Amino acid sequence: STLEVFCHDTEEIERAKKFGPLGGNLHTALHEVVGHASGQLEPGVAGPDATLKSYASTLEEGRADLVALYYMMDPKMVELGVMPDLEVGKAEYDGYIRNGLLAQLRRLKEGRNIEEAHMRNRQWVSAWAYEKGKADSVIVKVMRDGHTYYDIRDYHKLRDLFGQLLREVQRIKSQGDGEAGKALVETYGVRVDPAIHREVLDRSAK
């Protein structure tokens, strides 16, 4: 399965099998119900189609994902009885980063940039968090037997990074900051490292 191919270790595989399905369902619910339904434009700011143009869709999908990701590691979710413990949130974080930086590339033809809005947002959210957390080893890139893995070392710091990015993406939308929106997507969400892409295609072929 893709878990065996792309997970960093057995702990990640076990957590994915045990809590992945619930994590995925909760993420979807939070994304659709809380994510898309939240956020306001500042007075006098035009709608995102006018201000963010071709980047409006991927920025909105990323914003909804970030709402979901932020709440997936909130103790309140356990308190409400929506999930048994924060391991569910950890499984969702593992899966999101694993997919955003590696696994989803198997759906992309070699040599192509990412065009699809959801694929773009999964990459720019993941790549931004990876880069911003680098100094603190929040997500660590691990090379093993010529294969690349991403290992989350600090889930709470990653949650904080997701919160920071959510604040910035909401600001971009609320203020209609098209330049900042374009820069975020183009810097982190469009281009693919050809060596990683080739590696992912080889690994998933097996």
| Tens-digit pLDDT profile for residues 49-105 | 999 999 999 999 999 999 999 999 999 999 999 999 999 999 999 999 999 999 999
| Tens-digit pLDDT profile for residues 15-52 | 999 999 999 999 999 999 999 999 999 999 999 999 99
Cβ neighbours of residue 102 under 8 Å, at least 6 residues apart? 6, 148, 149, 150, 196, 200
pLDDT of 206 reads: 82
| Tens-digit pLDDT profile for residues 190-200 | 999 999 999 99
CA 178 to chain CA centroid, Å, is: 21
Match 């920071």 to its residue by tokens: 164
CA distance 92 to 122: 13
Give me the sign of the Cα torsion angle 71, 17, 5, 153. Answer: positive
Single out the residue of 123, 129, 128, 133 nearest to residue 61, CA to CA: 123
- What's the pTM? 0.97
Cβ count within 10 A of residue 53? 12
pLDDT mean across residues, the chain:
97
